[in-house]
Amino acid sequence: MNSARRISPAGAFGAGMALTYFFDRSQGRRRRHLVRDKLNSAIRRAACAAGKVWEDFENRGSGVLADLAAILWRKPATDEVIAARVRSKLGRLIAHSHAVRVAVRNGHVTLSGPVLADEVDDLLAGIRRVRGVIDVQSRLEIHQGPDVPALQGSGGEAAARRRQRLDLAQEHWAPATRFTVGAAGCAALLYGFSRNNALAKVIGVGGAYALLRAATNLDARRLTGIGAGPRAIDLQKIIHIDAPIEEVFAFFSNFENFPRFMAHVREVRDLGNGRSYWVAEGPAGVPVTWNAHLTRFGTNRLIAWKSEPGSLVQAISRLVPKRVRWAFQVTGTPAGPSATQ
């Protein structure tokens, strides 16, 4: 027999285990259904993601072609069109765009209304770059702080988020950006594995990071868990329970039942009004206590809660989120409901 066609003992053992697992008389059908459902779900998600990537590329291409056509043919825009462009730009330059009034006459833009002092330079420079604008006249009321109602409701962080930045500098990337960076990262990763030198290895590591960043759409702080604040680490646990959804939800909605299935939770007491008192086993067996309050509640569907500010659990580790959040979700499956914690 040709040696290339021989099946190794390990391969034969693995194939036998797979056949036993998926064709078991009591659980095989359910396992095959779960694999089929997960595969169909993955295909649907991939098709949806591909559609979003294509739509994003199409929109970006249409915008580039429109800008190129405007440059080549220099078709003059009406004052109404220029005003619409300016108002669209305002939302990406300042935090309180609704407070600024725009008037356009023959391409000359006049801005009026209250604005924060640290936003004036970015605002005027950004409006001057709008296509069709000849010049900008400022009649803005400059305020050092949000001392008028029109400037209240969002602070400096909101203004920074609204200012236009490159897609790569933002926390969440657009689908086209994720696809492009992911493809480049995959190519760099393959190049790093195919070459045996230090530079190639560095390129490979950079490609691995770019691929992971594009796949998860998480910034570097959340990927590493360092300096990410309350969203440093997300943990998910899936438990399949063959029982009616109503019984499962009733059991989990009573927090005092948690010590019965969580080894490190010693005690949970209901304080009323959605608040609860928790005692858990911390490092070296030292008990850790904190209070939590309910944040979301959907009967037979979802429970979510988090620790209250100032709880002792915040001091366990800097790598753990500053506020511990839990969510319990119930969904139906072919063999009964499942609990997602």
State the Cα torsion 80-82-85-91 to the nearest 10°. Answer: -90
H helix count then E strand count, the chain: 9, 10
Burial of 280 (0-12, 13-18, 19+ CB in 10 A): buried
* Distance of alpha carbon 118 from alpha carbon 254, whole angstroms: 51
Nearest to 140 by CA among 104, 102, 95: 102
Instruction: Classify 79 as helix, strand or coil.
Output: helix
Helix (H) or strand (E) holding 290: strand 287-298
Q: What is the DSSP letter of 335?
A: T
Residue 148's pLDDT is what? Answer: 79
Which segments of the chain have a pLDDT < 50?
Answer: 1, 3-4, 155-162, 315-324, 332-341
Residue 237's pLDDT is what? Answer: 66
Residue 180's pLDDT is what? Answer: 92
Residue 188's pLDDT is what? Answer: 93
CB contact set of 232 (below 8 Å; sequence gap of 6+) = 221, 222, 225, 226, 319, 320, 321
Q: What angle, rounded to 10 degrees, do the helices at 28-73 and 9-22 form?
A: 100
For 28, other C-beta atoms within 10 Å of its C-beta total: 14
Q: Which of left, alpha, beta for 272 (phi over 0: left; psi -120 to 50: alpha)?
A: left
Q: What does the angle CA 192 – CA 194 – CA 199 come to, to the nearest 5 degrees?
A: 40
H helix intervals, 197-237: 198-216, 220-224
* Distance of alpha carbon 305 from alpha carbon 274, whole angstroms: 9
Q: Is the pTM of this model over 0.85?
A: no
Distances in Å between the alpha carbon of 177 and those of 60, 129, 180, 260? Answer: 11, 24, 5, 47
* Distance of alpha carbon 183 from alpha carbon 325, whole angstroms: 34
Residue 89's pLDDT is what? Answer: 87
